[in-house]
Amino acid sequence: MEKNRLVLLVDDEECVLSVMKSMLKHLKCDYLEAKTGHEALRHIHEREDDISLIILDYKLPGMDGLQCLQHIRRLSQKPVIITSGERIPPDYTEHIGAQGFLAKPFSMRRMEKELKRLLHHYEGNSKVS
């Protein structure tokens, strides 16, 4: 990817966060991490202008991903990629207000493709590579 972007990772599983952080480092993206929906909302409140994109787990303890997404939409219109180990119908992601979906486990290539697609679309930058 051409320039560093800040991605907010929201997942309660340390091993998943670790893999995603490694992938983002390889893709030259910076990241913030949150293990709960409340922590994610705090990051968005504090750094919304800096965040380029949000990767949000569908199943979180307490406030689940859907509830978190509803709160996110009150604070930000940044693109959101939902991640889940469960099957989710393709049109459901858009229906709930997310712009992308990654089925766990996903490859770095798949993550990169989805990041580029959304960043290109939402930043309007044809030079995202």
Instruction: Note the pLDDT tens digit of each residue in 52-92.
Output: 999 999 999 999 999 999 999 999 999 999 999 998 887 88
Ranges 37-51, 55-69, 79-93, 95-109: which has the least confidence: 79-93
| Model confidence pLDDT, tens digit, residues 14-25 | 999 999 999 999
Q: What is the mean pLDDT of residues 27-38?
A: 96
Q: Are 85 and 104 in contact (CB under 8 A)?
A: yes
CA distance 75 to 86: 27
* Whole-angstrom distance, CA of residue 120 vs CA of residue 114: 10
Asked if 55 and 8 touch (Cβ cutoff 8 Å), the reply is yes
Q: What is the pLDDT of residue 123?
A: 79
Check residue 2 and give its pLDDT: 54
Q: What is the residue extent of each domain of the chain?
A: 6-123
Give the pLDDT score at 125. 46
Average pLDDT value for residue range 9-32:
96
23 token code pair: 């992938």
Indicate the CATH number of 6-123 among 3.40.50.2300, 3.20.10.10, 3.40.366.10, 1.10.565.10: 3.40.50.2300
Would you state the torsion angle of the CA atoms of residues 67, 80, 93, 86, taken in this order, to the nearest 10 degrees? -80
